[in-house]
Amino acid sequence: MTTRKAATGKAVTYREAVREALREALVADERVFLMGEDVGRYGGALGVSLGLLDEFGPARIRDTPLSESAFVGAGIGAAIAGLRPIVEIMTVNFSLLALDQILNNAATLLHMSGGQVAVPLVIRMSTGAGRQLAAQHSHSLEGYYAHIPGIRVLAPATLEDARYMLAPALSDPDPVVIFEHGSLYNVSGTLPPDTGPVDIDRAAVRRPGTDISLITHGGSLGKALQAAEQLAADHIDAEVVDLRTLRPLDDATVTGSVRRTHRAVVIDEGWRTCGLSAEITARITEQAFYDLDAPVERVCGAEVPVPYARQLEEAALPQPADIVAAARRAVG
Amino acid sequence: MTTRKAATGKAVTYREAVREALREALVADERVFLMGEDVGRYGGALGVSLGLLDEFGPARIRDTPLSESAFVGAGIGAAIAGLRPIVEIMTVNFSLLALDQILNNAATLLHMSGGQVAVPLVIRMSTGAGRQLAAQHSHSLEGYYAHIPGIRVLAPATLEDARYMLAPALSDPDPVVIFEHGSLYNVSGTLPPDTGPVDIDRAAVRRPGTDISLITHGGSLGKALQAAEQLAADHIDAEVVDLRTLRPLDDATVTGSVRRTHRAVVIDEGWRTCGLSAEITARITEQAFYDLDAPVERVCGAEVPVPYARQLEEAALPQPADIVAAARRAVG
Amino acid sequence: MTPRTTAKERRTRTRPPGPDTGHRLGLLKEMLRIRRFEERCVEMYSAGEIRGFVHLCIGEEAVSVGVHQALTPEDAVVTTYREHGHALARGIPAEAVFAEMLGRMTGCSRGRGGSMHLFDADRRFYGGHGIVAGGLPVAAGLALADLLREREQLVCCLFGDGAVAEGEFHETANLAALWDLPLLLVCENNLYAMGTPLAREHAQVDLAARAASYGMVAWAVDGMDVLAVERAARRAAQAVRAGSGPYFLELRTYRFRAHSMYDPDLYRDKAEIERWKQRDPITLLTERMRTENGFDDTSVELLEKEVAEELDRAVEQARQGGLEPAEDLLRFVHSPARGTS
Amino acid sequence: MTPRTTAKERRTRTRPPGPDTGHRLGLLKEMLRIRRFEERCVEMYSAGEIRGFVHLCIGEEAVSVGVHQALTPEDAVVTTYREHGHALARGIPAEAVFAEMLGRMTGCSRGRGGSMHLFDADRRFYGGHGIVAGGLPVAAGLALADLLREREQLVCCLFGDGAVAEGEFHETANLAALWDLPLLLVCENNLYAMGTPLAREHAQVDLAARAASYGMVAWAVDGMDVLAVERAARRAAQAVRAGSGPYFLELRTYRFRAHSMYDPDLYRDKAEIERWKQRDPITLLTERMRTENGFDDTSVELLEKEVAEELDRAVEQARQGGLEPAEDLLRFVHSPARGTS
Ligand SMILES: Cc1ncc(C[n+]2csc(CCOP(=O)(O)OP(=O)(O)O)c2C)c(N)n1
Ligand SMILES: Cc1ncc(C[n+]2csc(CCOP(=O)(O)OP(=O)(O)O)c2C)c(N)n1
Ligand SMILES: [Mg+2]
Ligand SMILES: [Mg+2]
């Protein structure tokens, strides 16, 4: 699922790309440290930080108790004091326990203090469903975080972004939340030689097209690209836009694409109502109303706690076939 | 701000209307009890439950420690066991500490248990800004709750709804979250003699009009009605729709209105991005795309932690003038 | 880490065997049943029949079996994702649990919950919670309902040592002690929260002492000795039913397997695991029954045979269960009384 | 409820007066300054000049003044919405605090925070937190930074008795004790959380004992005796700086006014309030200085005069402050380094 097929670089997994980004950050800046449940001895619930404890020691690869609110808040305090903490919340499902700290402190202190208290904190968490983990372990709550003024929200969907988004996130003077979709960690591909930090203000067109815009992010990018291939088969040339940055949204790239294609399908694994897909849809119609030839279509997670049983989980999540169907409706 | 001007009933405040609804429920059903911080001795942070402790005693008017997660979770457990708890969270600002319980338990248990564990819980909380309480006490997070499958979300904006929405909420077999806007408690008017429980599946047209639909809820209804009066002055006849139920949304009433007026302004005190206003806008364009003569306008809270200083807070919140301006843009 | 023994533990161990042979046989069989049940789970997981997260309680069977001796059908149970043993000990049929893990409609949660979310409302078994400590406040609420209705029943809430670090443990413990809730708090202290050992989770590793600081009675008990667990649970349950307010039991145990089927278990010293296996609750009781109850190899074989036959049948039946049609995905998002969405 | 006295309290009270007259004069003046400052706030609130929530610490001045004697400029302070006294004791100029409450650009938070959210980064005064217990994890993080950088400085976190019931207190206390953070936890126990008395908030009302259960040193101190508070704070701060890990001080005090300007205060027995007023920290020290330091009425009048003059000037200056133009609303949503949105 890398964008460049060029095999000049070495083969890596998404997991390794994130790990490499962490290692680079820890080497480059001694103010950086990683903190979270089982990031050390265990190597990270999803194996991302495996080996980092041996390399950097327990002070900088810091295992925390099961206390999401306290260790996220501690990350905020450490950032205020001038360090550059990277806090890992095992999964977005547990992040609700820290949401008060993120919304009422991390995102708020700078403004509420009249510009005195900046919080250069990076929070990483995995997100999404697809592994039959049932209702309490399958959330996609990116929309909750994209709702909060004062923070930046990133969703690396490719190996390059997994590898190169962390550095710019760490150089952001304000809080950044990074969502890594659980289904991506084992994706592997070849990473081109260091292209340097990526531009985290821009969405990316992952597949150019002329007939319709498929707008998505994170774990759904692959599905959108699959759908685009299927659509190509019946001569519908779909453009696939990867939002990459969920806050602030890159309106120019999204609207620009829709202005060219005149049609759009928004794909989001999260629940439909009041989710990220609603905002994208609203913005497109606000900004490209007179360019639209059809209402914007949404393909989202069903409004249901994600069930365990495979056939039910599959039915609850956006599938390429759903995207294809929506695109056909839009093209009419 | 009552809908019926008819003065046949007695004059009451919104606060008294809520209190009367609580009293009625406590009298009618001994399974009902009220629980929350300072609901008893203090009489409720906003004075809603004043006097109920004396009337019903400490077992049914239950003061809790400062433990939002625990007492909301306790409400869930008591509801599962067959009681009908009404849990008061002082304000939406503190509800983030209980959001995990609401989302992962209250809203999820029925489905996750295959239909075995219903949670007939009612949660009340005040919401909104406007009293110079600054960033941590001025949130409007209705959109977060409207995002959650499995719960119903109500926003009584009138005396009638404050008085008569609780009964149907209590008879809902599933969790219901009720948002009372802080600016409404002192609003007073006359309440017509008991009209019985209201229909909590329907939005309400508070002011019929033909030229544009102003769609809002809760604390913004008054502002929308003011704006409508101003618009009438220059011969723009605005229809004002009060959503009343934020989940499930009453698409028929909203879309029906827009089909007639061909134009819409959505007013929401909450932050714009990924908020309730995004969903309303998206649904209108999905369902009434070909009836729209102009893009849907949104008038929302500025994307900023609400500041203390009066002129800054006013600038951060939707004002009638903003609604008028947006309506004029839409009418063109 | 090695198993610590407290005065309390020694006392309970040296007590004369209260329960008779028949009773002990029941305890042994139930522990064996849970052990063999989970070994089947491992097979079915490896075969790809069971998916998602699966957390085994192999090594901790004395907790499930011992505690449930003290519970009545009127009591309620709230537990974690590591709950196969509790579900079986509570009386949920093995086939219903297997079926759940196979994602069948006949599963105890209609296939919607899987291994982590076993439910049985008729048996007042209220999950199966995946958010660590998330079940504690709910258990307090169930107990509050019993209190308000003046019922002589209790709520048994089981959770791990890691859960004690969460704010929800603190809030619930305070609420329960403050309101004298009929709540039996059972901490399954298996010394690890995933890869994190107790001493890196807690400044004060004596969890019973921590609980006692809320003003509730708290005991540390040898969680590998099912008779000790049963004795402590019965005594605590009796007091709670009598209106004492909450009791806290710290059951010191150990999981012989990894945290979950995903876990490579790189963080535990193999010697430590071996030391704990010396105190396998099933072996401990078997040996004791050999010396005290004239138990012998044939008795063991007999038990194994009965258990194997039950589980064979259960797996068979579970595999027969139908799959919920995808059209019913939204069913139960809301109660039938009102439509979905 | 009446003030309880502990062995510790009696000990500290019977100590010979360590600090000299000059020092005591400073303490008294600072307490008086805070008292008179807040009385001005009441006037300005009644006049509609100050709005929003205003929480007074009248009666609790010995806490602010006593604790801050133990702090250095390198230390950091995190507190609650009831922080006027702490802000002044930390050295934030009275005019900057007045200006903040008047919503002026010259306020210590540029008028964005108001009474509940006073900040001064130069003085390492990090709020002014409105979410009960919300400041505790942040304070732990500030202390973690000191630990990682091996600095001999501490973080002083002040919070109320009600905050101790929140999960965040528990999580933070455990984290601080587990990691030996240089954190001075100061609980301002004024016996009420809004309208809820201590005994309805906590199953175990001995908050120092509760804190001790995390394995940290915890003392209960008479919060009305500024000298006792200072002594305890100095001793605790010294230990924390020396690497002892966190200390917990429970300062037993009382607010003479309602919870906030909104609060009709219907839940407290007037006799109780009167009893506590007998132990007014300002009166206590004044009387003591009369007997031990030859203090007399003229000395009091002199102090009052100096304080009044300062506050007159401060109010004047504060009223001169400009209002932030509405166009700058979005300023500081993000750091200048990157634009808004
Ligand atoms: C709030 C929350 N944080 C993190 C997790 C991920 N997680 C699942 S189990 C577990 C360890 C729990 O340890 P313990 O409470 O001791 O129970 P055990 O697994 O040992 O039985 C963790 C960290 C979770 N499920 N919920
Ligand atoms: C999480 C949270 N819940 C509720 C409130 C509302 N509230 C503000 S102050 C207060 C009482 C706090 O009491 P205590 O901690 O003793 O501090 P005190 O006001 O007595 O100084 C409450 C309930 C809040 N601000 N935050
Ligand atoms: Mg454990
Ligand atoms: Mg207090």
Between D3-7, D110-114, D211-215, D275-279, the lowest mean confidence (pLDDT) is in D3-7
- The answer to whether D184 and C173 are in contact (CB under 8 A) is no
Ranges of each domain in chain D: 22-260+285-322
Instruction: List the structure tokens of D34.
Output: 């805070």
pLDDT of residue D338: 62
Beta bridge partner(s), residue D186 = D158, D249
Q: Say if residue B28's pLDDT is above 70.
A: yes
A175 to chain D, any CB pair closer than 8 A? The answer is no
What is the band of A197 on the pLDDT scale with cuts at 50, 70, 90? confident
Q: Say if residue A7's pLDDT is above 90.
A: no
Cα of first residue to Cα of last residue in chain B, in angstroms, is 30
Cα–Cα distance measured from residue C176 to residue A308, given in angstroms and rounded to the nearest whole number: 33
Cα–Cα distance measured from residue A289 to residue A262, given in angstroms and rounded to the nearest whole number: 9
Instruction: List the structure tokens of C102.
Output: 């196979």
A277 to chain B, any CB pair closer than 8 A? The answer is yes
β-bridge pairing B10-13 and B188-191: antiparallel
Say whether B204-331 and B11-190 share the same fold.
yes
pLDDT of residue A60: 98
pLDDT of residue A298: 98
Quote the pTM value: 0.96
Using DSSP's 3-state secondary structure scheme, residue D247 falls into strand
pLDDT of residue C19: 56
How many other CB atoms are found less than 10 A from the CB of residue A176? 27
Beta strands in B128-263 (DSSP E): 152-154, 176-181, 188-191, 204-207, 212-216, 238-242, 245-247
How many other CB atoms are found less than 10 A from the CB of residue C149? 13
Element (H, E) at D238: helix D226-241
Average pLDDT of B145-152? 98
Beta strands in A192-311 (DSSP E): 204-207, 212-216, 238-242, 245-247, 264-271, 297-301
Q: Say if residue D134's pLDDT is above 50.
A: yes
* B68 in catalytic set: yes
Q: Say if residue D96's pLDDT is above 80.
A: yes
B146 to chain A, any CB pair closer than 8 A? The answer is yes
pLDDT of residue C15: 44
Instruction: List the structure tokens of D120.
Output: 């001064």
Neighbours of chain B (3+ CB pairs under 8 A): A, C, D
Query: Per-residue pLDDT tens for A243-285?
Result: 999 999 999 999 999 999 999 999 999 999 999 999 999 999 9
CB-nearest partner of A75 from D141, D332, D338: D141
Q: Say if residue D5's pLDDT is above 50.
A: no
> Which 8-state DSSP code applies to residue B63?
E
Instruction: List the structure tokens of D45.
Output: 């609130």
pLDDT of residue B29: 98
Contact check, Cβ <8 Å, B282/A278 = yes
Cα–Cα distance measured from residue B80 to residue B207, given in angstroms and rounded to the nearest whole number: 40
pLDDT of residue B8: 52
Alpha helix (H) ranges present in chain C? Answer: 7-13, 21-46, 61-68, 84-90, 94-101, 135-148, 167-178, 198-201, 207-212, 226-241, 270-277, 281-292, 297-320
A residues 13..52 contacting B (CB < 8 A): none
The whole-angstrom distance between B187's CA and the closest CA on chain C is 33
Percent of chain B predicted with pLDDT > 90: 94
Average pLDDT along chain B: 96
> Which 8-state DSSP code applies to residue C120?
B
Residue of B15, B39, B42, B91 to mutate for D, most D C-beta atoms under 10 A: B42
How many other CB atoms are found less than 10 A from the CB of residue B19? 22
Cβ contacts (< 8 Å) between C330 and chain A: which residues? 302-304
Cβ contacts (< 8 Å) between C134 and chain B: which residues? 73, 100-101, 104-105
Cβ contacts (< 8 Å) between A282 and chain B: which residues? 277-278, 281-282, 285, 296, 298
Ranges of each domain in chain B: 11-190, 204-331
pLDDT of residue C17: 45
Cα–Cα distance measured from residue D274 to residue C290, given in angstroms and rounded to the nearest whole number: 72
Q: Say if residue B152's pLDDT is above 90.
A: yes
Q: Which ligand is nearest to the CA of C56?
A: 1
Query: Per-residue pLDDT tens for B283-293?
Result: 999 999 999 99
Average pLDDT along chain A: 96
Contact check, Cβ <8 Å, A309/C163 = no
Average pLDDT of A66-70? 98
Q: A11-190 is classed in which CATH architecture?
A: 3-Layer(aba) Sandwich (3.40)
Element (H, E) at D240: helix D226-241
CA of D311 to the centre of ligand 3 (A): 58
pLDDT of residue C338: 62
Reported ipTM exceeds the 0.90 cut: yes
- Does residue D132's CB lie within 6 angstroms of at least one atom of ligand 2? yes
C-alpha distances (whole Å) from B132 to each of A149, B271, D8, D39 are 19, 17, 43, 21
Average pLDDT of D17-26? 81
Q: Say if residue D13's pLDDT is above 80.
A: no
Q: Say if residue B164's pLDDT is above 70.
A: yes
Cα–Cα distance measured from residue A127 to residue D82, given in angstroms and rounded to the nearest whole number: 38
Query: Per-residue pLDDT tens for A297-313?
Result: 999 999 999 999 999 99
Cβ contacts (< 8 Å) between B91 and chain D: which residues? none
Q: Say if residue D165's pLDDT is above 50.
A: yes
What residue owns the CA closest to ligand 2's atom 18? D160
CATH number of D22-260+285-322: 3.40.50.970
Candidate of C60, C116, C194 to mutate for ligand 1, largest count of ligand atoms within 8 Å of Cβ: C194
Mind listing the pLDDT tens digit of every residue in chain C (341 residues)? Answer: 444 445 444 444 444 444 589 999 999 999 999 999 999 999 999 999 999 999 999 999 999 999 999 999 999 999 999 999 999 999 999 999 999 999 999 999 999 999 999 999 999 999 999 999 999 999 999 999 999 999 999 999 999 999 999 999 999 999 999 999 999 999 999 999 999 999 999 999 999 999 999 999 999 999 999 999 999 999 999 999 999 999 999 999 999 999 999 899 999 999 999 999 999 999 999 999 999 999 999 999 999 999 999 999 999 999 999 999 999 999 999 999 764 33
Give the active site residue among B137, B139, B181, B217: B137
- Does residue C190's CB lie within 6 angstroms of at least one atom of ligand 1? yes
B58 to chain C, any CB pair closer than 8 A? The answer is no
Residues 6+ apart with CB under 8 A from D63: D57, D85, D158, D186, D188, D223, D229, D251, D253
- Residue range A204-331 forms a domain whose CATH class is alpha beta
- Does residue D131's CB lie within 6 angstroms of at least one atom of ligand 2? yes
C131 to chain D, any CB pair closer than 8 A? The answer is no
What is the band of A10 on the pLDDT scale with cuts at 50, 70, 90? confident
Query: Per-residue pLDDT tens for A310-326?
Result: 999 999 999 999 999 99
Contact check, Cβ <8 Å, B113/C145 = no
B residues 153..172 contacting C (CB < 8 A): 172
